[in-house]
Amino acid sequence: MLDKTGFDLWANGYDESVGLSDTSNTYPFAGYKQILNSIYQGILQTPGAEVLDIGFGTGVLTSRLYQQGCRIWGQDFSRRMIELAQQKMPGAHLYCGDFSQGLVQELTARRYDAIVATYSLHHLTDLQKWEFLRDLLPLLRPGGRIYIGDVAFRTRRELNQCRAVCGERWDEDEIYFVFEELQAHFAQASFTPFSSCSGLIEIPRCL
Ligand SMILES: C[S@@+](CC[C@H](N)C(=O)[O-])C[C@H]1O[C@@H](n2cnc3c(N)ncnc32)[C@H](O)[C@@H]1O
């Protein structure tokens, strides 16, 4: 599993390598652009939305929302990723911190129209995911929602099929979402598949 130094080293070539995997429609980034586009369109339904991006990387998604007038907050632990994202979004409020330890206090003190996590939460165990998501829900404003775009599967069987097809390319260090297992904890969640290995999970705030 990549640590913050690994992500620092990946940062400069990140956009290109993700694009190549997406364009060739291969694991792990098949469907990446479509998922980000779908989240982008969803968030733009709220003009001037206040958005929290967890593990924002180079800011591929949030920099587009920023250009459309959304206000952006975020947390990432890679200094180089933060530098690159801040260049694209000079007015964004970007903090350095390991989300496996939770969010920094500046971020928990606010409320958001949308909380986004794309290709970042698979660094947490499933138990950590459920706990983290439970802590995020109260940070949403009424009508707000969490968007998780990632390598994700509706069932454990589908995950195992993909793993078998990928063979040695499968990253055993990453812990991918299985929607049915998440839904046992978040009954209001929905899942939209975007490729054989990716999907968008949405968790609206209840009430
Ligand atoms: C694969 S990149 C995804 C970037 C971006 N969200 C996207 O969709 O292109 C994962 C990002 O999550 C960050 N990240 C991974 N684990 C983290 C952690 N425990 N705490 C904070 N950031 C983390 C990495 O530094 C990196 O920027």
160 in ligand 1 pocket by Cβ < 6 Å? no
How far are the Cα atoms of 18, 147, 182 from residue 60, in angstroms, in the given order? Answer: 11, 15, 26
Where does the pLDDT of residue 207 fall: very low under 50, low under 70, confident under 90, or very high at 90 and above?
A: low
CA 160 to centroid of ligand 1, rounded, Å: 24
**Contact of 145 with 139, CB cutoff 8 Å:** no
**Contact of 32 with 24, CB cutoff 8 Å:** no
123 in ligand 1 pocket by Cβ < 6 Å? yes
Q: Specify the ligand 1 atom closest to the Cα of 98.
A: 20
Where does the pLDDT of residue 21 fall: very low under 50, low under 70, confident under 90, or very high at 90 and above?
A: confident
81 in ligand 1 pocket by Cβ < 6 Å? yes
Q: Which of 180, 176, 184 is nearest to 159 (CA)?
A: 176
Q: Which residue lies with its CA nearest to atom 13 of ligand 1?
A: 55
**pTM for the model:** 0.96
CA 120 to centroid of ligand 1, rounded, Å: 4
Which residue in this structure is represented by tokens 């499933």?
Answer: 126
- Report, as an integer, the average pLDDT of 58-78: 97
Beta bridge pairs of residue 202: 147, 190
Write phi, then psi, for 132 (nearest 5 degrees). Answer: -65, -45
Q: Specify the ligand 1 atom closest to the Cα of 149.
A: 8
pLDDT digits (tens, 9 = 90+) for 78-106: 999 999 999 999 999 999 999 999 999 99
Q: Does domain 4-204 match CATH 3.20.20.60?
A: no
**What is the share, in percent, of the chain residues with pLDDT greater than 90?**
86
179 in ligand 1 pocket by Cβ < 6 Å? no
CA 73 to centroid of ligand 1, rounded, Å: 14
Pocket test for ligand 1, best of 120, 148, 173 (most atoms within 8 A of CB): 120
pLDDT digits (tens, 9 = 90+) for 148-180: 999 999 999 999 999 999 999 999 999 999 999
Break the chain into its structural domains and give their ranges: 4-204
Where does the pLDDT of residue 19 fall: very low under 50, low under 70, confident under 90, or very high at 90 and above?
A: confident
Q: Using CA atoms, how far apart are residues 91 and 152, in angstroms rounded to an integer?
A: 32
Write phi, then psi, for 154 (nearest 5 degrees). Answer: -70, -40
76 in ligand 1 pocket by Cβ < 6 Å? yes
